[in-house]
Structure 1
Amino acid sequence: MDKKDIIKKYKRDNLTINWQAGKCIHSAVCVKELPGVYDPKSRPWIKPENASVEELKDQIDKCPSGALSYDLEDAVKGDPASQTEVELMENGPLLVKGSIQIKSPDGSVVNKEKLTAFCRCGGSNNKPYCDGQHKKIGFQG
């Protein structure tokens, strides 16, 4: 298994936080919003017991790369199409929130849940996804 595909899980009540380091673009949204939960210098670096389930969900929903996601036990899923939202981050990626299906020119299909960050700057080494290169190249848009 490729290191970027490894998912670590952290549990708080009926919420399971999924952390996929290979997706992270190091925007630090998590650390800035919940510094008591996310401490990159600590091991484990995620301490979900330091916030409520609602605070954790709200913060995870703001993760621009989708490196952080969550699962809820006994959650009822609605119609994914009615829950999809697209947002342009200033000088950053195109964020698609919700369930989507991505079809590549070679015919392969990838299903994404929660949040996906698509490159707008053209500099990503992981196209079509954002890998944070917009910061390094000074993308404005």
Structure 2
Amino acid sequence: MKDITKTYSNGEVTIVWKPEVCKHSEVCFRGLPEVFDPHAKPWINATGSNTERIIQQVNKCPSGALTYFMNNEVLANGSSPEITASSLAEIVPNGPRLIYGSIHTKDTSGHETQEYKVTAFCRCGSSSNMPYCDGTHIKTGFTDNE
């Protein structure tokens, strides 16, 4: 599969989108529709909000398909900094379990996939894209108290 990476900048921050990593949880445009609009072309409008709100929303992306870098961090040779993740498992309060790093995943039918950077696994049990989080926990009101 061809590695497609798209970037969108407001001059201060650059949003990086890797469509092949996206799990279509819709968290991005449900939280900041003035920047992330799936009906617009292009679907990301980096000037639609301020940098702080963009960073907050990008950090909520459960799959890691959306990342960012600050434009003042561009390397001397003009390239973007490498976006890396350490090996780490993290529980998002009232949300998915995030696994940072490169992992192989096998679903119940035996289909294997290689995941990179951040993988979001469902904790609420209601995802239509098991074992991955698709954002259904937001609709169902899942909380850690259940």
Structure 1 gaps, min length 5: 105-109
Query: What residue in structure 2 maps to residue 102 of structure 1?
Result: 102
2:24 is aligned, of 26, 40, 61, to 26
2:120 is aligned, of 117, 120, 125, to 117
Query: What residue in structure 2 maps to residue 107 of structure 1?
Result: none
Aligned residues: 119
Q: Aligned pair in 2 of structure 1 residues 49, 103: CA closer, same or farther (>3 Å)?
A: closer
How big is each residue's C-alpha offset from its partner over 1:70-118, in whole Å with a ceiling of 9 and x where there is no partner? Answer: 112344xxxx76xx6611575x74214xxx44366xxxxx872xx4324
RMSD over equivalenced CA pairs, Å: 3.6
% identity of equivalent residues: 35
Q: Aligned pair in 2 of structure 1 residues 29, 15: CA closer, same or farther (>3 Å)?
A: same
Residue 48 of structure 2 is aligned to residue 50 of structure 1: yes
Alpha-carbon distance between aligned partners in 2 of 1:131 and 1:37, rounded to the nearest angstrom: 22
Alpha-carbon distance between aligned partners in 2 of 1:6 and 1:131, rounded to the nearest angstrom: 22
Alpha-carbon distance between aligned partners in 2 of 1:27 and 1:89, rounded to the nearest angstrom: 17
1:86 is aligned, of 85, 90, 102, to 90
- Determine if contact 2:62/2:133 at 8 Å carries over to the other structure: no
- Determine if contact 2:10/2:46 at 8 Å carries over to the other structure: yes
Larger helix proportion of the pair: 1
